[in-house]
Amino acid sequence: MSGIYSGKVALVTAAGAGIGMATAEGFARRGARVMLSDINAETGEATTERLRAEGHDVRFLRADATKEDDVVALVRGTVATFGGLNIAANIVGDAHRDASGADFHEQSLESWEHTQAVSLRSVFLSMKHEIAYMIEHGGGAICNVTSLAGLLYVGAAGAAYAASKAGVVRLTKFAAVSYADRGVRVNCIAPGVTPTEAYNKAGPEMGQMVIDHLLPNQPIRRVIATSEQADAIAWLCSDQAAMVTGHVLPVDGGWTAQ
């Protein structure tokens, strides 16, 4: 698929780590000019510098994807820098607050609100401003990221995360149908066990414990590489998937097939 994105401009949120970083790399290596964004300027800039050193045309803009002013500035900044916007991967999300396994009735409102903001509001705001640009400028392709927890019961993920990720599925499908006749495709992936920084936030042992707890549910019993999630996003956003919209693609080693 090398070069399939030549001449395209891509925007990737959460590009400073994990699946977002791999997605930005995947787009750049397929020929796109890429705007990387993250709330963490240090990791976002380091990733961008690494890709620039490999010869890719990439830039970084810091943005908190839960804040509308930041998202507006990000979309405008992408267009001002590269002259357009064809592809967007909205990857920001956070299960951390709810990964403690606390029972539903013990979860705080503050934790609920945090999760809805990071995992659902961010996707709404990103799509809102990306689509507003795309429908006036020749269309585009968007990929969001839900989770297995948005599709079926995963107790360790917690209720707030599950609800937010189910929301991402409905937002994706709603937008896909709404904009199908205006040249914008919208899909999402649902990753299986893909170790990233998110797994280590509570400490490396906790990360391993989560992996050990989850992997027995995954028919292909190995962890999934971030690049394998990025490959799925790259295909969904490419012209090879021109008739695919409103789709949820599990990249989950068969978990949801059971």
Ligand X SMILES: NC(=O)c1ccc[n+]([C@@H]2O[C@H](COP(=O)([O-])OP(=O)(O)OC[C@H]3O[C@@H](n4cnc5c(N)ncnc54)[C@H](O)[C@@H]3O)[C@@H](O)[C@H]2O)c1
Amino acid sitting at position 122: S
The residue among 61, 62, 57 whose CA lies nearest residue 82 is 57
Helical (H) or strand (E) element with 89:
strand 87-90
Cα 240 to Cα 230: distance, rounded to the nearest angstrom: 15
Instruction: Identify which of residues 1 and 225 has a Cβ nearer to ligand X in the complex.
Output: 225
CA atoms of 125 and 202, how far apart (whole Å): 28
| Residues 99-128 close enough to bind ligand X by CB under 6 A | 118-119, 122
Interface segment toward ligand X; rule CB under 6 A; list 2-10, 91-99, 105-113, 233-241: 91-99
Q: Which is nearer to ligand X, 115 or 245 (CB)?
A: 115
Q: Does 197 bind ligand X (CB under 6 A)?
A: yes
For residue 108, what are its two tokens?
């705080």
In the shown chain, the binding pattern of residues 153 to 192 toward ligand X, with x for contact by CB under 6 A and - for none, equals: --------------------------------------x-
Binding map of ligand X across residues 55-74, x = CB under 6 A, - = no contact: ---------xxx--------
Which of 12, 193, 234, 236 is close enough to bind ligand X by CB under 6 A?
193
List strand residue ranges (DSSP E) for 167-251, in order. Answer: 184-191, 248-251
| Integer Cα distance of 38 and 19 in angstroms | 12
Q: What is the DSSP letter of 207?
A: H
Write out the residues near ligand X by the rule CB under 6 A. Answer: 13-14, 16-20, 38-40, 43, 64-66, 91-95, 118-119, 122, 145, 147, 191, 193-194, 196-198
